[in-house]
Amino acid sequence: MKILVAGDHFVTPALVASSLPSGVDVSSLLLPWPYEPFGPIADVDEASGDESELIAALDGVEVAITQMAPFTSRVIEAADALRLIVCTRGGPVNVNLAAATKRGIAVCATPGRNAPAAAEHTIALILAALRHIPDVHGTVRAGEWRSDLYALNAAGRELSGTTAGLVGYGAIGARVARILRAFDASVLVYDPYAEPSEGFVSTLDELLGRSSIVSLHARLTAETRHMMDAAALSRMPRGGLLVNTARGGLVDYDAVVDALESGHLGAAAFDVYDPEPIPAGARLLTAPNVVLTPHLAGATVQTAERAARLAAEVVTAYAAGTPLPGQVNP
C-alpha cells in the first residue's frame, strides 16, 4: 500500500509516519502551515499548499493522510490510484467531498482529536475573563502593584456557583460541561441534535436568559451563522460573559462590541473570528473587557499526537477491509 502523508508543521509527516503500521510504503509532503496562513484554494476552504505539487506527490498513491492539503476537484480527478483520504481534523473542509464521492474515494475525518485541548482552552478563557487575568498581568509587568483592584467594583467573579450555558454538545461541549461541574457551576445545554441529558433546555432563548456565561460549541451552518446577534445578546443577563472557541461565523462581533461598550455584556473571550485574522482597525481590538487568542484552542502536542494515532487507526481498518472510523461519505 502506497501512502502519502501531506503533513505540516503541526501534524508533521514524521509524526504521522511513526504511527502507521509496518509494511506500508510512505512518502511525505511538507505543507507551509502554520508559518503561512491557510485559506480557500479553488473549491475547498482552510487549505495549505499547492494543487500542482500535491498532484505530483499523489502519483501511484492509494491512501493520502493530511490536515491541510487542498484536495480540490482538480486534484481528485488527477489522482488515478487514490482510494482513501484521511483528514486529520474534525471535518474535511479542505476536501471536495462531492468530487471524492463521485470518484469512489472514501473520506474520513478524526472527530474529537482536539476535544481535550479545546475544552481546556475554553475553561482557561472563562477564568481569564472572570478574573481579569490578562489586564492584571499587564499591570504587574509594567511595575505596578494594584491593590486598588481589591475594591468591590473592580474585583473579579468566581466560576463556582454560576450558571453556564453551552450551545452545542459534541465532544468538546460535553467535556466542557464535565469540567464546569467540577468547578461547582450549574450547566445548561442547548443542542437540538444531541440526545437530551442532564441540564438540557428546549430553546436557545431559555438558555440565554438563565446563563451568566454562554459558551459556543456548535458547528457553523446556515442555521447557526450569527446566532449570537444583537437580539440574542440582549436576552443574556446584564454583565454576562460570552465565550467562543468554535467558529467565528457564529457571532456578530459588531453586536458584541456594542454590548460591551454599553455594559450589557460584562466580558467576552474569543479564540475564533470572522474573518481571520482580525482586520487591523477592527472595533473588537479596542473593545473593553475582552480576552483574545489567535485560534489556538486546539494547539497542543497531544492534539497532534492524537490526530496521527486516529489516522493510523483508519489506515489499519482500511487494510483489514473493516468499517472505516470517521468516514463522512458513502
State yes or no: is 219 an active-site residue. no
Residue 122 contacts residue 170 (beta carbons within 8 Å): no
What is the CB-side half-sphere exposure of residue 160 using CA atoms within 13 A?
Answer: 3
pLDDT tens sequence across 74-107? 999 999 999 999 999 999 999 999 999 999 999 9
Task: Tell me the percentage of the chain whose pLDDT exceeds 90.
Answer: 99
pTM for this one?
0.93
Which fold would CATH assign to domain 115-292? Rossmann fold (3.40.50)
State yes or no: is 276 an active-site residue. yes
Tell me the angle at which helices 115-130 and 133-141 cross, rounded to the nearest 10 degrees.
70
Q: Which residues contact 199 (CB under 8 A, 6 or more apart)?
A: 177, 186, 187, 188, 189
State yes or no: is 247 an active-site residue. yes
pLDDT at 148: 95
Instruction: Choose, from 53, 276, 283, 309, the residue flagged as catalytic.
Output: 276
* 157 residue type, one letter: R
Separation CA 215–CA 167 (nearest Å): 6
pLDDT tens sequence across 119-128? 999 999 999 9
The domain segmentation of the chain, as residue ranges, is 2-113+300-320, 115-292
pLDDT at 6: 98
Instruction: Choose, from 74, 175, 247, 306, the residue flagged as catalytic.
Output: 247
Instruction: Choose, from 181, 225, 283, 295, the residue flagged as catalytic.
Output: 295
Q: From the centroid of its chain, how far is CA 8? A: 17
What is the CB-side half-sphere exposure of residue 91 using CA atoms within 13 A?
Answer: 11
Which fold would CATH assign to domain 2-113+300-320? Rossmann fold (3.40.50)
pLDDT band, very low/low/confident/very high, at 159 (cuts 50, 70, 90): very high
* 58 residue type, one letter: L
